[in-house]
Amino acid sequence: MDFFEWHGISPFSRFAKQISQEEEKTRKRINALIAIIRDIEIHQTKPTTEMLLSLFGEKMKEEEEPILVEKKFVKLTRDEWNEKEKTVPKAKYDDLKSDLKQERARTFSLLKEISYVKNRLGKDYHKIDIERERLARLIREYEQKDL
């Protein structure tokens, strides 16, 4: 039943007329496929066609060779080179690395000062055991640094 419904064949109409309509639809589809295959042969198989033609001694139209343009070398200063390459000089890298080590050491020493306090009637919390002067100095140093 699905076959007949799919193809639009009904028992109440002329069978020959429906068959001819289906043949016409199929013929249109086949013609469209042939056009697509011809287009592929013409536009996408050029290298194969050229090889076959070269085997039989025929030549296709010659393609123009691209014009070579000489590259000009420009001298750059070290800063311009570093900016272009997005690199950092070795001395600056070493300074940044030592600054990072110092900051890690200071942070670790500050973390050692933290203690956990259990509260009987509320939430438990962490407490930092440092002097006011040291905390004020840390705050000033971090405010002055350029990040």
- Greatest CA separation for the chain: 104
Give the pair of three-digit tokens for residue 19. 């068959």
Whole-number pLDDT of residue 59: 61
How far separated are the first and last CA of the chain, in Å rounded?
A: 77
User: At 14, phi and psi to the nearest 5?
Assistant: -75, 125
Whether residue 16 has pLDDT greater than 70:
no
Q: State the residue for tokens 């350029």.
A: 146
Per DSSP, what are the bridge partners of residue 127?
115
CA distances from 46 to 60, 65, 134 (A): 10, 18, 78
Rounded CA separation 145/22 (Å): 82
138 CB neighbour count, 10 Å cutoff: 13
Signed CA dihedral, 13, 16, 22, 25: sign only: negative
Grouping H, G, I as helix, E, B as strand and the rest as coil, residue 128 is strand
**What mean pLDDT comes out for the span 18-34?**
83
Per DSSP, what are the bridge partners of residue 115?
127
Whole-number pLDDT of residue 138: 86
Whether residue 17 has pLDDT greater than 70:
no
Whole-number pLDDT of residue 93: 86
Cα–Cα nearest to 47, from 33, 55, 34, 66 = 55
pLDDT tens-digit map of 38-55: 888 777 776 677 777 777
Whole-number pLDDT of residue 117: 92
Whether residue 98 has pLDDT greater than 90:
yes
**What mean pLDDT comes out for the span 93-112?**
90
Rounded CA separation 90/94 (Å): 6
